[in-house]
């Protein structure tokens, strides 16, 4: 097994000693560069792939050369979740190398049926945005980039469907598979048992809080639970993990994951309280609330901001602090009154 010295404050050194290496890939649209991680073991493992774009492939090959490796040396591709910046390049890598792909079983159907799923997801989001008061022209503008972004991922065959709690055994380490949904329904963290390092995708980022994104439900299910409530439960689980560091899909390595989880949970409570206060004496749609918080940015980032507001509204409704009114066209939210008139 990998021997890792405990050196306080030296997470980067611990990562290198564990034989795990970051390659940063550019994004062809307005998102931070994505981290992919190479585990030097038998087999050599690539965790996430970046988007299906020539600049990402060039950067990946250059990063591998810097490690003395080639694409053909890869023996396994692990996916943390089927978002285009994390799995989009997988099909091209498979065509070049024949490498096998593994991901959580629930996400495999998305990765394999990407084209049809993404088109259906856009239709579902369009309906959901309209229900939350987003004007039709803003909905169309918000979804238009998706028609381009969809091409930055290709369907890819998944050779191994992983189960939560199972272990992937490599020559020098074991990776425990943890399902921590919220940002997406399929978020997976791979925990290196020996080094106590976790490859975390977008579950927890040091640079920015991940959105708990609205996501189309699976066929046969009327809807998914509110994503922010699911995400909060996942963060609470993550807080119990005895990690030396978390290796994220974007930005720097997270050293003290427990402190960052506490910070994220506290920020979510503060945002919920701010939304509740905003609804005092008025009814508002999620779009109107988003405009109050972010102004014109709410239209430019409709998916992120509506997901953010709806997630907190779900929590407030579940806690009976806010009520939801449905007029058959849009949903409006009002702060619940407490107590009765003075007598």
Predicted pLDDT of residue 4: 33
Q: Give me the percent of the chain exceeding a pLDDT of 90.
A: 82
Q: Is pLDDT at 103 greater than 80 in this prediction?
A: yes
**Confidence class for position 100, pLDDT limits 50, 70, 90:** very high
Instruction: Give the chain's largest Cα–Cα span.
Output: 80
What rounded mean pLDDT belongs to the chain?
91
**Per-residue pLDDT tens for 118-169?**
999 999 999 999 999 999 999 998 887 665 577 899 999 999 999 999 999 9
Cβ atoms 186, 230 nearer than 8 A: no
**Of 206, 212, 194, residue with least CA distance to 17:** 194
Helix (H) or strand (E) segment spanning residue 27: none
Predicted pLDDT of residue 147: 56
Q: Is pLDDT at 340 greater than 70 in this prediction?
A: no
The stretch 109-116 carries a mean pLDDT of 95
The stretch 70-81 carries a mean pLDDT of 98
Q: How many CA atoms lie within 13 A of 152 on its CB side?
A: 21
Predicted pLDDT of residue 84: 94
Predicted pLDDT of residue 145: 63
Cβ atoms 192, 18 nearer than 8 A: yes
**Per-residue pLDDT tens for 2-28?**
333 334 346 777 898 999 999 999 988
**Per-residue pLDDT tens for 250-272?**
999 999 999 999 999 999 999 99
Distance from C-alpha of 261 to C-alpha of 206, rounded to nearest angstrom: 10
Helices 227-239 and 257-278 pack at an angle, to 10 degrees, of 150
Predicted pLDDT of residue 146: 60
Would you identify the CATH topology of the domain 11-265?
A: Metallo-beta-lactamase; Chain A (3.60.15)
Predicted pLDDT of residue 104: 97
What is the chain's alpha carbon radius of gyration, rounded to the nearest angstrom? 21
**Per-residue pLDDT tens for 308-329?**
999 999 999 999 999 999 999 9
**Confidence class for position 216, pLDDT limits 50, 70, 90:** very high
Q: Where are the domains of the chain?
A: 11-265, 276-335
Predicted pLDDT of residue 332: 98
**Confidence class for position 223, pLDDT limits 50, 70, 90:** low
**Per-residue pLDDT tens for 59-68?**
999 999 999 9
Predicted pLDDT of residue 5: 36
């Amino acid at each position: 097994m990998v021997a890792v010295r405990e050196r306080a404050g030296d997470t980067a050194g611990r990562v290198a000693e564990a034989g795990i290496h970051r390659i940063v890939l550019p994004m062809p649209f307005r998102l931070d560069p994505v981290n992919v991680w190479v585990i030097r073991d038998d087999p050599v493992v690539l965790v996430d792939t970046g988007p299906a774009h020539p600049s990402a492939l060039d950067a990946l090959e250059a990063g591998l050369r810097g490690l003395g490796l080639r694409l053909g040396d890869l023996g396994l591709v692990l996916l943390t979740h089927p978002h285009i910046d994390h799995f989009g390049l997988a099909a091209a890598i498979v065509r070049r190398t024949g490498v096998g792909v593994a991901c959580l079983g629930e996400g495999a159907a998305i990765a394999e049926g990407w084209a049809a799923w993404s088109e259906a997801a856009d239709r579902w989001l369009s309906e959901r945005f309209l229900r939350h008061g987003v004007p039709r022209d803003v909905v169309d503008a918000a979804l238009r980039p998706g028609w381009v972004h969809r091409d930055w991922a290709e369907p890819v065959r998944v050779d191994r469907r992983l189960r939560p709690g199972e272990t992937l055994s490599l020559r020098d380490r074991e990776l425990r598979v943890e399902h921590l949904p919220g940002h997406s329904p399929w978020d997976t963290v791979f925990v290196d048992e020996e080094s106590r390092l976790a490859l975390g995708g977008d579950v927890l980022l040091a640079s920015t809080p991940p959105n708990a994104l609205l996501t189309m439900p699976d066929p046969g299910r009327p809807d998914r639970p509110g994503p922010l409530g699911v995400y909060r439960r996942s963060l609470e689980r993550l807080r119990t993990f005895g990690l030396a560091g978390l290796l994220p899909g974007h930005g720097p390595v997270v050293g003290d994951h427990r402190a960052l989880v506490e910070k994220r949970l506290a920020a979510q409570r503060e945002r919920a309280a701010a939304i509740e206060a905003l609804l005092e004496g008025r009814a508002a749609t999620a779009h109107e609330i988003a405009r109050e918080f972010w102004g014109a940015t709410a239209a430019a980032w409709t998916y992120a901001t509506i997901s953010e507001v709806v997630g907190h509204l779900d929590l407030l409704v579940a806690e009976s602090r806010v009520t939801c009114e449905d007029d058959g066209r849009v949903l409006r939210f009002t702060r619940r009154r407490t107590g009765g008139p003075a007598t």
